[in-house]
Chains A and B, each alone.
Chain A
Amino acid sequence: MADTAERAASGAEIQLESVTKRYSGTREPAVSDVTMTIPAGKIVILVGPSGCGKTTTMRMINRLIEPTSGTITIGGEDALSLNADDLRRRIGYAIQQAGLFPHFTVAQNIAVVPGLLGWDCRRIDDRVDEMMELVGLDPAEFRRRYPRQLSGGQQQRVGVARALAADPPVLLMDEPFGAVDPITRGHLQDELLRLQAELRKTIVFVTHDFDEAVKLGDKIAVLGDRSAILQYDTPEAILANPADDTVAGFVGAGASLKQLTLLRVRDVDYRDNAITAGSEESPAALRKRMTDEGRTYALVLDARRRPERWVHVRDLSSATSLAGVGRPVGDSVSTQSTLQDALEAILVEGGNAVVTGGRGEYLGTIDIRTVTDTIQQLRDEHDGGSAAP
């Protein structure tokens, strides 16, 4: 048992090779000849319109649906030659509306797979507590509750805890956050990313929500009819350069805006050439520096170099001290912020947003040009690389 736990500590690679599912009595296969490699420790999103076979493709990995032909290997092991029940005990499974057993308590639900694997009671008990802590549910409060006594978001957390309980290397998630409100969904997505940073599982995640795919995926597979892979690439690449019109249609309007959520301010070339001044500097000296360089605005910093206010060169002629002149800096962005946040700040500030470091100190400014240049640059990059998806 110790050795399975160790082996399971992080993800395993999944390979699908010419996987096809054909239901008897139908002319077209439901899934036709899918070949893809899902890298170990990554989140891969299968995204596509309803009925495209994405769920079928996922369910063939744990053989809830048996493939008609093709091979599937998980961590190098042939999944189709194993006992299906044993296989499923080694693959976490989370579904829409959590699929919790309504007559089991939260603890019993989480304990299902460890129980099936024959862990002893002590170990299961400890594991249940650990899992509940992991997904942010207080064991003392929730252990004995029934699913009906939980909110939708809490049920999903229990669903994820149950999927992770036996520490499987692979996690299959079928629209797990589809049935909760947008705010809770956002929280659950953030939490999944936090868990994944820690656990490094191989996660196959099915959704029809492209924004969710962009947010969560290390890679996204956009699927068309019969699960044909239209494009399989990083979210950045798909947004910058959709493979064809179908993918572009699915990415939807506002691809560039979505792209902004993927980029951080630290990744772009923001400028650090604004004229700055300490509040002790005399207005006249600053005014001279500004006219020498032909600038109309300067940024006044406080003693700890944090941005305080913008001053216009006109303000300086009548001022006796830099304290209190000009307009306070409103929105600023940190290097951690997304470009979307930066754009928002740029719009609010009217042209320039101040970029600050970890302690709030001035690092530079970012303007609309920086944003548009970045997007353009990404397009060009992915255009060149589109031959090798």
Chain B
Amino acid sequence: MSDVPFKNPGWAGNTGEFELDEATVRGDEFVGERPLSGGHPSGAATYPYMLPDKDPEAPLFEGPFKERFEKILSQYPTKRAAVMPALGLAQEVRGHVSPEAMDRVAELLDLAPAYVRGVATFYTMYNKRPVGRFLVQVCTNISCNLCGADDVLEAFLRYTDTDLGETSEDGNFTVVEAECLAACGFPTCVQINSRYYENVTPSSVPEIIEHLKATAPDGSGAAD
């Protein structure tokens, strides 16, 4: 991540008094590459990052993901408690939780399919329909809003040429409004996939979008 072409002014401030590089601040080096099977069971539900290359047809709970699913089951006294981590795992592989994926979770955990859908629809982070490679969530709650979050949201919509909640034609971006992301001291905060971008202003939006396009798995936009 250290070759990111722009600094994260949110973290370091614009004053230059803070000399850590971005990778260090984000802990990338400390965390390292995580195994798909999830490492120690205590953190099995947290690995790895939310990835841009999503395959809606990928098999669920197989190979390393089966191992991780087993670890998750071992963490709780009831099977039901594994429903959220299991949905998270399905989303990690496929990018969203389809009705079919929810049914599979229900089957594995001996729950009614309707129950699992009830849980999945309660939580906003489970995408009930496919999203773009980059899910852009712009916080527009009070602290960011005071510092111009509405303009940042509009800039993202303009530069990705999408409507709120819709996916751009090249399949790269879905822009949505988010509730407070708990980074209120670094407004505006934007979460793109698993990463927080802090102190985003409308003028930094084109740069962020170019950077994301360059890192898109299919390389779209890498040449220009």
Do chains A and B stick together as partners? no
Binding site for A on B (CB under 8 A): none
